[in-house]
Chains A and B, each alone.
Chain A
């Protein structure tokens, strides 16, 4: 390619990028940098007051915010580990089953993906009703089976609330990794699998030695998205447990804490934009670096077909 042509091409590319870049800068970069600056000021309600240095960060790392921060971080981390382990492996299992199925693939695909497209509010309401300790059918079935001691206030007990939320999350989202993995499996060159089969490889050997390594790009995407989703977990805990992570903060997450601090709540009053922004900076750093580092690490083990 001649250098003149390349220049011409670069110019066109640059021009075409301008609208998208402008949108990103105006609506993402500038607000993000502004939030960064918010963290270094004191606030009167929603009005910026004097420069405060690192005071907001100091407050974030003292009572009562530190207790809330460590609890929330712990919940996010547990959510990431558990969701990664169960949602991903179950999704992979479903994908493999759908890959192998001879008839009705379309029906299975729809069924598996259906909860993903349900409105979150509907999902939350559905499970809240099912799990209601007084009227809910789940506890009635458990009691009917003769083990009433297992009928718990699932969403109200501090020891079961978070696991229950994770279960609902997995139920809702498992179709997503399943469809991504299915696409990954379909992209594998069928000749590899056939060749292995002719060489006498068993199904499990084919899965472990051929399919799984070639699924690495899908796994990278799923891991990074699960990481971001888990550390920015907000919607389901908010709809079910409110902005305080009810009961007693057992379902609190970093994003809920950020929301509570920055906007306040009608139930408990005043906000603190400064400390909220300090937390925002912390979450951004954690998720940004975590996702970048994680995807770099995972890409290294991807293999070319």
Chain B
């Protein structure tokens, strides 16, 4: 290429830049904020909501980017500790990201900035607070609830007329279902976290729900408490109603057994319902809270905040980010979240139309108790969950005893949790 030609090109480029420049200055009047999430499955939902937000807030555009669920924590932590990251962040609840809050990576939110916070229950707000400073760092958007899901058609065929109210009645129902040629429960042992959720569903009635939660958090009781040991034993007792070779049945196969109407019951979270329906749209699913340990005990529904929306402490677009957070706290957005993704909304002012979600939420509000491990003991390693998940897999095959497992959890938690230090 001749020099003159190059000069010509350079001149043309300059001309192009000067022509574009006025447009660029218009563009800079427009604020772009970025929003990260781990809900790749909700991309379409969020993008349509962001267009609504933009319509209401001219001059602000939102770029929504979801990341792979299992890699999200590492991606967010890396970005934030490097002083980067998005303006608005979907935040994991409780211990999931509390260490990032404590390190000052999120902007504290006040009720003056985000009025929607005033309307949320205290236990839900705790899901988005720092572990050390207890400041509010996020606006929780949804809650989860644990219970027993059942297939009414199978129960009818097996002659189970009334829903079990006690642990003994539940076992009788399992026997009847087995006799009728169905699997009593789809739950299996291949996945540690699923077993932990099973325990969080059936366990609280044995250890005494919220009272025990408060005591163990305050250091007044320990995990070696008789009631807690009994709750672990309840999980071991369920093993005999699990499908054959349950140790090796993974999470998806286990859920598939219920979804494909081979198993009568599945014990777990409300978030499974969407998965069951996606596998078998014609399935009818009933839901009831875990039965009580005995006639004198109480029933509980394990519950916890599912996640929150937070603002990067280093954002340069604070005003726009707050606008977005406040939009995510509106009734309209909450309503769309429950109507389109069937989440249980945190805000009491959102109306639930889905009958299944409505029923679960009714029980949750009356019998709710915090998911012990998630709400209380996931803030430092070794977490109670990191001991219990493999521990339950051992327990259901007789590889350990409920007493030993309780002792293991206590030792692990006492190694970092101040109120439990030195206790066994």
CB distance from A172 to the nearest CB of B (A): 20
Q: Which of B113-121, B292-300, B408-416 forms part of the interface with chain A?
A: B408-416
Instruction: Indicate whether A269 sits within 8 Å of B102 (C-beta atoms), given known contacts A135-B253, A246-B190.
Output: no
Interface 1/0s, chain A 243-277, versus B by CB < 8 A?
01111110000000000110111111111100100
Q: Determine whether the beta carbon of B247 is less than 8 Å from that of A157.
A: yes
Q: Determine whether the beta carbon of A269 is less than 8 Å from that of B390.
A: no
CA distance A46 to B103 in the complex (A): 9
Q: Determine whether the beta carbon of B248 is less than 8 Å from that of A266.
A: no
Count of chain B residues near A, Cβ 8 A: 54
CA distance A246 to B389 in the complex (A): 9
Q: Determine whether the beta carbon of A270 is less than 8 Å from that of B381.
A: yes
Contact of A269 among B96, B243, B393 (CB under 8 A): B96
Q: Determine whether the beta carbon of B103 is less than 8 Å from that of A263.
A: no
Q: Determine whether the beta carbon of A248 is less than 8 Å from that of B390.
A: yes
Contact of A268 among B99, B244, B249, B386 (CB under 8 A): B386
- Which B residues touch A272, using CB under 8 A? 380-381
Q: Which of A21-29, A98-106, A126-134, A182-190 forms part of the interface with chain B?
A: A126-134
Q: Which of B66-74, B171-179, B273-281, B319-327 forms part of the interface with chain A?
A: B66-74
CA distance A128 to B190 in the complex (A): 12
Q: Determine whether the beta carbon of B69 is less than 8 Å from that of A64.
A: no
- Which B residues touch A47, using CB under 8 A? 81, 99, 103
Instruction: Indicate whether A244 sits within 8 Å of B192 (C-beta atoms), given known contacts A267-B385, A270-B378.
Output: yes
Instruction: Indicate whether A153 sits within 8 Å of B248 (C-beta atoms), given known contacts A270-B380, A270-B381.
Output: yes
Q: Tell me the nearest residue of chain B to A155, going by C-beta.
A: B248
Is A118 in the interface zone, CB < 8 Å from B? no
Q: Determine whether the beta carbon of B412 is less than 8 Å from that of A246.
A: no
CA distance A104 to B424 in the complex (A): 68
Q: Determine whether the beta carbon of B397 is less than 8 Å from that of A158.
A: yes
Contact of A267 among B100, B189, B389 (CB under 8 A): B389
Interface 1/0s, chain A 131-143, versus B by CB < 8 A?
1111100010000
CA distance A280 to B100 in the complex (A): 23
CA distance A217 to B162 in the complex (A): 74
Is B107 in the interface zone, CB < 8 Å from A? no
Is A227 in the interface zone, CB < 8 Å from B? no
CB distance from A160 to the nearest CB of B (A): 9
Q: Determine whether the beta carbon of B389 is less than 8 Å from that of A244.
A: yes
Is B219 in the interface zone, CB < 8 Å from A? no
Is A44 in the interface zone, CB < 8 Å from B? yes
Is A65 in the interface zone, CB < 8 Å from B? yes
CA distance A244 to B389 in the complex (A): 8
CA distance A156 to B399 in the complex (A): 13
Is B149 in the interface zone, CB < 8 Å from A? no
Q: Determine whether the beta carbon of A245 is less than 8 Å from that of B390.
A: yes
Contact of B412 among A63, A245, A263, A275 (CB under 8 A): A63
Which residues on A are within 8 Å of B, measured CB to CB?
44-47, 59, 62-65, 128, 131-135, 139, 151-158, 242, 244-249, 260-261, 263-272, 275
24 contacts between A and B (CB under 8 A): A44-B103, A45-B102, A63-B411, A63-B415, A64-B387, A65-B382, A134-B244, A134-B249, A152-B245, A153-B245, A155-B190, A156-B246, A156-B248, A156-B250, A242-B192, A248-B397, A263-B74, A266-B69, A267-B196, A268-B385, A269-B374, A270-B378, A270-B380, A272-B380
Extra contacts, 7 of them, besides A46-B100, A269-B96, A269-B381 (Cβ < 8 A), are A132-B248, A132-B249, A153-B246, A158-B247, A263-B74, A266-B70, A266-B92
